[in-house]
Amino acid sequence: MRIEDIEGIEAAVTRVDTALRPIAERPVDVSDPDWAEKMRLRPAPMDEAGVRTEAEAALRALLSAYEHGDEPLRASVRALLAHRTAFRWAVHLPFEPTPEGFRQRLLHMSIVDQGSDTRDELLTLHDLCAEACDAGVDIEPLLREVAELSSREDKYGMGSMRDILLRTR
């Protein structure tokens, strides 16, 4: 992948992040007894911001760069999402319970690299694995494959993303 391609992807991620930021930072009044229902009834942030097509295209491009790039490129992709937190929070592809769909979600988790809270990522990983297993996906080889592309940095004292994927069953 050429550096110009990565620069274009970064620009798209930045545009989407900017559009999503007001939604991501909108206050939530948790003292309102109906706050959870109100949140559930809101449109998805990508739809509310009108950026779904560009957001999903940018994420697909990131996934491809991450999968096919070398370690310095993967580290730069992880760093990009560490700084573009609204994009990281709101942009996801629909999960298809197939080996390739599971693999794509694992790659996305690897890029997010534990996000802001490892516990949230662990819960997401647990649910994702359960759904894939229920669909008959052999998850262990895919976990090992993506673990090899993942960060070895223990960001929050719960192991690196690589370690987390390798110990998941």
Per-residue pLDDT of 42-75, as tens digits, reads: 999 999 999 999 999 999 999 999 999 999 999 9
On whether the CB atoms of residues 48 and 104 are closer than 8 A, the answer is no
How confident is the model at residue 54, as a pLDDT?
96
pLDDT of residue 133: 97
Same domain, yes or no: 104 and 89: no
Query: What does the mean pLDDT of the chain come to?
Result: 94
Residue 11 and residue 43 share a domain:
yes
Closest CA to 1 of 62, 78, 46, 88: 62
pLDDT at 2 over 80: no
Q: Are residues 89 and 100 in the same domain?
A: no
* Per-residue b or e along 61-97, where b marks 16 or more CB atoms closer than 10 Å to that residue's CB: bbbebbbebeeeebeebbebbbebbbbbbbbbeebee
CA-to-CA distance for 116 and 16, rounded, in angstroms? 19
Section 121-127 average pLDDT: 96
Q: How many residues does the chain have?
A: 169
Is the domain of 67 the same as that of 56?
A: yes
Does the pLDDT value for residue 156 go beyond 80? Answer: yes
The 10s digit of each residue's pLDDT in 92-104 is 999 999 999 999 9
129 and 105 co-located in one domain: yes
- The CA-to-CA distance between both ends of the chain, in Å, stands at 33
Residues 71 and 108 in one domain: no
Q: Which of 93, 121, 145 is the last residue of a domain?
A: 93
124 CB neighbour count, 10 Å cutoff: 16
Spatial CA neighbour of 165 closest among 135, 144, 134: 144
Q: Decide if pLDDT at 1 tops 70.
A: no
What count of other Cβ atoms lies within 10 Å of the Cβ of residue 145?
A: 14
Domain check: are 103 and 82 in the same one?
Answer: no
For range 98-122, the mean pLDDT: 96
What is the H or E stretch that residue 13 is in? helix 3-24
Whether residues 145 and 119 fall in one domain: yes
Instruction: Mark whether 70 and 120 lie in a shared domain.
Output: no
User: Do residues 52 and 10 make contact, with C-beta atoms less than 8 angstroms apart?
Assistant: no
The SS3 of residue 34 is coil
* Full residue range of the structural domain in which residue 157 is found: 96-169
Listed in sequence order, the DSSP H helices in 69-168 are 71-83, 85-90, 99-112, 118-134, 139-147, 161-167
Q: Are 71 and 110 in contact (CB under 8 A)?
A: no
Q: What are phi and psi of 72, to 5 degrees?
A: -60, -40
pLDDT, average across residues 116-121: 94
Domain count, the chain: 2
pTM of the model: 0.91
Percent of the chain with pLDDT over 90: 93
Domain boundary among 93, 116, 136: 93
